[in-house]
């Protein structure tokens, strides 16, 4: 029984790592959703909450990385266990970056809060925001549940986001030609679309890391 005890403790520490990642992931999902809602219903207090949450996510990821490094040093894990711990560090890094992208979306939303956004670009952004939120959720849960089939879907989803970005670019450009005075605020829509595209890229990276963790093969 004494020989088994350290192994049981190690398994518990691995489960605790998963719980930590899940907690950070939930915070990131909520923060991203809150930031995209600001596009259509801006509120200064909620913007500050998003900015503050992005910093909290950073702190949470820092603590996660410390736990991971401590676990590697103490237990010297190999094979699947080592890949899981290493994936926790990588996924945490992606979640941190998504948190700051959510803060960027919140900041740029303030620049368009009093403007009358043309219908087409606004619809594009709404669709893109919802789709990226779905991708982010899918990427996170493919990792937490170690679901390789779900992880593989993300590459196809990313193509859809690229199409939505191109569509947004086209509609914003048309709106700029129609109203030259609107260029100063319409350019903010392009930045926001770009931030959403980068969140989608991070979701794909989480899925790719999941595939590597499970198969030990590069996607």
Res 180: pLDDT: 84
Place of tokens 């603590």: 63
Alpha helices in 76-182 (DSSP H): 79-110, 119-144, 148-178
Res 1: pLDDT: 42
Res 5: pLDDT: 66
Closest to 95 (Cα-Cα) out of 87, 107, 83, 105: 87
CA distances from 123 to 12, 41, 42, 119, 146 (A): 46, 14, 16, 6, 34
CA distances from 22 to 15, 91, 141, 205, 209 (A): 11, 11, 9, 17, 16
Res 2: pLDDT: 45
| Residue numbers of the chain with a pLDDT score lower than 70 | 1-6
Res 219: pLDDT: 79
Res 218: pLDDT: 81
Kindly report, residue by residue over 174-219, the tens digit of the pLDDT: 999 988 888 888 999 999 999 999 999 999 999 999 999 999 888 7
Closest to 127 (Cα-Cα) out of 187, 34, 193: 193
Res 4: pLDDT: 52
Distinct helix (H) and strand (E) counts, the chain: 6, 0
């Amino acid at each position: 029984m004494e020989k088994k005890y350290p192994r049981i403790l190690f398994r518990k520490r691995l489960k605790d790592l998963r719980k930590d990642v899940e907690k950070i992931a939930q915070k990131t999902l909520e923060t991203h959703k809150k930031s995209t809602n600001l596009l259509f219903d801006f509120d200064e207090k909620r913007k500050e909450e998003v900015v503050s949450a992005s910093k909290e996510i950073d702190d949470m990821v820092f603590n996660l990385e410390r736990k991971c490094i401590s676990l590697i040093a103490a237990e010297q894990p190999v094979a699947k266990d080592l890949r899981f711990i290493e994936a926790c560090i990588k996924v945490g890094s992606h979640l941190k970056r998504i948190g700051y992208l959510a803060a960027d979306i919140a900041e740029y939303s303030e620049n368009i809060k009093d403007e009358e956004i043309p219908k087409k670009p606004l619809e594009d952004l709404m669709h893109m925001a919802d789709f990226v939120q779905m991708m982010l959720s899918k990427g996170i849960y493919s990792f937490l549940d170690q679901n390789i089939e779900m992880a593989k879907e993300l590459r196809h989803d990313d193509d859809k986001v690229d199409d939505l970005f191109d569509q947004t670019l086209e509609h914003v450009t048309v709106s700029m030609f129609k109203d030259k005075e609107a260029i100063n605020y319409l350019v903010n829509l392009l930045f926001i679309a770009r931030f959403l595209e980068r969140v989608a890229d991070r979701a794909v990276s989480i899925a790719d890391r999941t595939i590597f963790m499970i198969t030990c093969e590069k996607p």
